[in-house]
Amino acid sequence: MVPIVSRGGGGRAMWAKDQKDRGRWHNCKECVVDCDEALRRRRATRSEEKLAADALFLKAMTLLNLAVCAADHEPVIMALEGSLKLCPGSKEMQAKLDMAKRNRDVFAEQERLDQEAAKTHRNKDRQ
């Protein structure tokens, strides 16, 4: 397990990573909050960039797990892009970013089709 916060706190974020590794997603909101806190506290040194990249990646995976519409994928994409800037060349991060963009596009298309169908249904009811 790679710690995502520096010494001095952030136990819930490490716990959330343990839970992610086991496939259990409890307390997703707390995980995102802890990742944001880890990012706020990171220093500008090179050694801290990997920790920040890990925090962004974990945040993105948590948000991706909760995403239920196209708009929900935007913070995921932003977090993954930020993680890739800090840790370029990660194939896993790039694959997750590509997947998040595809998912966003699929959700957007489905939302467009749903709106179109609803409009057609409303127009039929008016006639």
In a domain, 5, yes or no: no
Of 46, 38, 54, the C-alpha closest to 1 is 54
Q: What is the pTM of this model?
A: 0.65
In a domain, 95, yes or no: yes
In a domain, 6, yes or no: no
In a domain, 37, yes or no: yes
Q: How many domains does the structure of the chain reveal?
A: 1
- Taking the chain, what is the end-to-end CA distance rounded to the nearest angstrom? 62
In a domain, 1, yes or no: no
Taking only the tens of pLDDT, the chain with its 127 residues reads: 334 444 344 454 554 455 454 444 456 777 787 887 777 777 544 557 778 888 888 889 888 888 888 888 999 999 999 999 988 888 999 999 999 999 999 999 999 999 999 988 888 877 7
In a domain, 2, yes or no: no
Q: What is the CATH number of the domain that holds 44?
A: 1.25.40
- Domain, as residue range, for 97: 11-126
